[in-house]
Amino acid sequence: MPNDGGYSILRLGTDDIDLAYEWRDTLNRVFGEEAGPAPSTEYMRGLLRDPGFFALAALHDGTVIGGIAAYEMRKYEAERSEIYLYDLAVDELHRRRGVATRLIERVRELAAERGAWMIFVQADRGDDAAIALYERFGAREHVLHFDIEPREAP
């Protein structure tokens, strides 16, 4: 999907495996994270094949400069789903050019195609740029987030 400034947004599929690894590496680099070894090709293809997983790459001159990872969650309380926007990252040199906005807009389109009821996203306190971006799209809620480690059954 072309965008002004030579940017395009692509939903990655199983034929985009090389771009998928570039997308993963780009998001990790932008976040300054070491994610460990890359997933196997079989794992990555399975993820990209899943209609409830959205891997959107922002491209500039054929190079991945950012992207979104999002997941559709089917709800139990009603016949509906919500989309969790898990990660959104844009390379620093390409920020403030509408790339993040185009990525979110594309998720909104895909959510509508899937019949999703809502899209939600978390932002860390102090990440003022992300908070300002997300406030343009929706209402802020004040919630607490907890990381709970799995454990083996006794």
Sequence-separated (6 or more) residues with CB below 8 Å from residue 113: none
Residue 112 pLDDT > 90, yes or no? yes
Q: Are 136 and 103 in contact (CB under 8 A)?
A: no
Classify residue 53: in a domain, yes or no.
yes
Classify residue 140: in a domain, yes or no.
no
Q: Look at residue 33 in the predicted model and tell me its pLDDT.
A: 78
pLDDT in tens, 58-105: 999 999 999 999 999 999 998 999 999 999 999 999 999 999 999 999
pLDDT in tens, 13-30: 999 999 999 999 999 998
Single-letter amino acid code for the residue at 70:
A
Residue 2 pLDDT > 50, yes or no? no
- Cα angle value 95/101/104 (rounded, 5°): 125
Q: Please list the alpha-helical segments (H only) found in the chain.
A: 17-31, 41-49, 99-114, 128-135
Q: Look at residue 143 in the predicted model and tell me its pLDDT.
A: 72
Q: Which domain holds residue 122?
A: 2-135
Classify residue 142: in a domain, yes or no.
no
Domain count, the chain: 1
Percent residues over pLDDT 90 in the chain: 63
Q: Look at residue 126 in the predicted model and tell me its pLDDT.
A: 75
Q: Are 92 and 125 in contact (CB under 8 A)?
A: no
